[in-house]
Amino acid sequence: METAEHQIIQFPGAPETKKAQLTQAASEDLRLLKLIAAGDQSAMAALYQHRGTLLYSLLLRMLGDEMEAQEVTQDTFVQIWRRAVTYDPARSAPLAWMLLIGRGLAVDRLRARGRRQAHHATYEAEVASLEFEWVSRSRQVEQDELATVCASALNRLPEAQAQALQLAFLRGWTHEEIARSRNEPLGTIKARIRRGLLALRQILKEYQNG
């Protein structure tokens, strides 16, 4: 049974707000996950239609290889199918839950490629590759409004914060590895990443409300 906060009441003809669109999308995720947990394979196909692009794009960005991104996308949806019965909406939003499953599998692949040395040169090289991929891939696609807002939100963060966030989230670097390679205290990196994520969230909220 859906709770009141998941229900959207809208009068006919009223324009959909950005917040309502996002909330509706989250409710759809939740509804589909419930059906998947009950073994509904058509709900899985619907979820793939709904979130396949977002997940594949993230995995492609992380792995940089189309074939591998495709494989991990497949693994991610299979994991979603397996774990949907244990999904707890009180603990995680459905999209975050799915994204973190996919990211975990991609990080697994990144680690399997080999051990990296956490020093300054590696850090610089990784940051440069992130920036190069960002520019080259951004040129290949037309971004929708929300993606553009999120991308600009990332660009508005202080450089060190954006780099730490991307290394941690997209490249699977641990907080310790980032701290070691930048020769900075671990606490500084922890706070930097935490504040960066909170800042990104705040920008998304502002977009929703306005």
Pick from 8, 38, 201, 206 the residue near other proteins by CB under 8 A.
201
Q: What are the phi and psi torsion angles at 87 (to 5°)?
A: -65, 130
Residue with Cβ nearer other proteins (14 or 190): 190
Stretch that binds other proteins, among 1-9, 13-21, 123-131, 197-205 (CB under 8 A): 197-205
Which residues from 85-104 bind other proteins, rule CB under 8 A? Answer: 86-87, 91-93, 95-97, 99-101, 103-104
Pick from 138, 158, 185, 206 the residue near other proteins by CB under 8 A.
138
Binding letters toward other proteins, positions 155-184, x by CB under 8 A: ----------xx-xxx-x-xx---------
Residue 107 in the binding site for other proteins (CB under 8 A) = yes
Closest approach, Cβ 7 to other proteins, in A, equals 20
Buried b (16+ CB within 10 A) or exposed e, 5-23: eeeeeeeeeeeeeeeeeeb
Listed in sequence order, the DSSP H helices in 84-173 are 94-112, 120-140, 145-156, 159-170
Q: Count H helices and E strands in the chain, helices first.
A: 9, 0
Residue with Cβ nearer other proteins (123 or 169): 169
Give the C-alpha separation, 80 to 97, whole Å: 9
Which residues from 55-74 bind other proteins, rule CB under 8 A? Answer: 55-58, 60-61, 66, 69-70, 73-74
Residue 78 in the binding site for other proteins (CB under 8 A) = yes
Residue 151 in the binding site for other proteins (CB under 8 A) = yes
Binding letters toward other proteins, positions 20-59, x by CB under 8 A: -------------------x-x--xx--x---xxxxxxx-
Give the C-alpha separation, 70 to 95, whole Å: 19
Angle at 157 between CA 201 and CA 203, to 5 degrees: 25
Buried b (16+ CB within 10 A) or exposed e, 147-167: eebbeebbeebeebbbbbbbb
